[in-house]
Chains A and B, each alone.
Chain A
């Protein structure tokens, strides 16, 4: 799919009218962590704000070997994510997520600080159920029915990419490509336990390139490879005396991106994989209007846990407010 001014206009218009959900924050070399921004049933809207503190700890090379950063390196990215979700109909909801990113890196003799808007996500979700499926006990077969969400996410390249006026990857805040993801989220809660499976598959839109890391080049067409994200999580909810809740969630994620194409030919140096864990604690008030979240995302800095990708730890602190 070639990106032309006409399709660009269509995509922007489509993004406005057909939004979607999983929040995906831009990161160095295009990584980052994902989280869902889903409205509860019978809610009108939700405002979500979070801060990501991502610390880099080496990288995996193409063979999957973990390589440490040079001694004295201190690579960090900070993201402020602003998100808004809105119910369109009883089974439809939409959201937009905009990150603002600060890069703060000391790498060998290089010391850089940059900031800018990240890539924007616009989501549209369809809920394939009418009633809340959370139950306390299994009394009949229908109590086993999970909640199923089907969604689409459009990524707008609003960040600073390698194709802008930057010197290296420490300066970037986005990938530079439009991407459309199809998402499936299946979740089931039998109190106090809950589990969820998120599968997201994305295709980028080919674009023209006439500049690389600040240097104008002979124009060519480029497209990144298809992207797959799968996240499996298990949660436990603790009810406090006040009927407020604290939910603890452990998640495992697998992220991979196929090789890119340049003028229709495969780029053998591209593509990546990453596997990581995340531990989340979420505190919700009794009426579930306010939710406070803290997530620690951890990638294993050992051989075989990723390929051609930075190894990072991410601490996320966030708060959501639900408008009834």
Chain B
């Protein structure tokens, strides 16, 4: 019994860490501050900053077909926000609505619903979450998700020349504001 008492905690720890294979464990235990962003060739076609955004066609929740080029023709720049209608996404979108849309009236804010799977369901989620006034693109086949490497909260800024200026998680919205303010 003495041995059990003495070694039980260590056995539990070893068992659990073995079970997980320590995958992803040490990343947060010893956080890194090194910049590991991939390098890209400026002007090449792609989704990363300084690259030229590929044109796309998508259907919004009112069944209108929209293209990146047509949106850019109507505005100084386009912002894509990838939502899955979760609490964090709601917090971000609420912040966009209250803080950024009024500040940048000449920017097109497009919400990309990449999880709902159909136009009617996407429209229902849009209304249920209280964002009827937004333009929501139903990314039913996740084409935009794949093209822009989007996921929950990813925010993409494309300037009037079609160049990607930002592609990262929304966080507090400060980077988005700074990026939009720096556009010509």
Contacts and interface: CB of A to CB of B under 8 A. Distances in A.
Q: Verify that A and B bind, or say they do not.
A: yes
Interface of A: 3, 5, 8, 12, 29, 44-45, 47, 59-63, 67-68, 70-71, 82, 84, 86, 96, 98, 100, 107-110, 116-117, 156-161, 163-165, 167-169, 174, 176-177, 207-219, 221, 260, 262, 265-270, 272, 308-310, 323
B130 to A, nearest CB: 8
A68 B90 CA distance: 12
Range for the number of chain B residues in contact with chain A: 35 or more
B169 A213 contact: yes
Given A210-B34, A217-B168, A71 B29 contact: no
B173 interface: yes
A266 B84 CA distance: 24
B37 to A, nearest CB: 5
Contacts of B86: 29, 59, 168-169
Given A70-B124, A213-B153, A164 B27 contact: yes
B28 A174 contact: yes
Contacts of B90: 59, 61-62, 67, 308
B61 to A, nearest CB: 13
A84 B9 contact: yes
Interface string B76-100: 0000000011111011101100010
A66 B15 CA distance: 40
A215 B29 contact: no
Given A3-B31, A109-B115, 11 more contacts: A62-B90, A67-B129, A98-B12, A116-B20, A116-B23, A169-B88, A213-B152, A215-B167, A268-B95, A268-B99, A309-B87
16 contacts: A5-B30, A59-B90, A68-B128, A70-B116, A82-B16, A108-B84, A108-B85, A109-B140, A210-B31, A210-B33, A213-B151, A215-B149, A218-B35, A218-B37, A219-B33, A262-B174
Contacts of A176: 28, 31
Nearest to A75: B86
Contacts of A209: 31
Contact of B91 (A71, A159, A308): A308
A226 to B, nearest CB: 17
Interface in B120-174: 121, 124-125, 128-130, 140, 149, 151-154, 167-174
A69 to B, nearest CB: 8
Nearest to B30: A8
A110 B152 CA distance: 12
Contacts of A216: 35-38
Contact of A158 (B25, B88, B140, B173): B25
Contacts of A86: 9
Which A-B residue pairs are the 4 nearest by beta carbons? A109-B117, A208-B33, A267-B172, A157-B28
B16 A213 contact: no
Contacts, number: 185
Contact of A59 (B87, B153, B170): B87
A157 B25 CA distance: 8
Nearest to A3: B31
A225 to B, nearest CB: 12
A269 B174 CA distance: 11
Nearest to A29: B87
Interface string B1-24: 100010011001100110110011
B65 interface: no
Given A108-B121, A213-B151, A269-B170, A12 B29 contact: yes
Nearest to A221: B33
B32 interface: yes
Interface in B38-66: 38
Nearest to B149: A215
Nearest to B10: A84
B32 A210 contact: yes
Contact of A215 (B35, B88, B154): B154
Nearest to A19: B9
Contacts of B17: 117
Nearest to B87: A59
Given A100-B20, A218-B35, A219-B33, A268 B173 contact: yes
B28 A163 contact: yes
Given A98-B16, A116-B20, A117-B20, A269 B92 contact: yes
Given A29-B87, A110-B84, A216-B36, A84 B12 contact: yes
A308 B115 CA distance: 20
Contact of A164 (B19, B20, B28, B124): B28
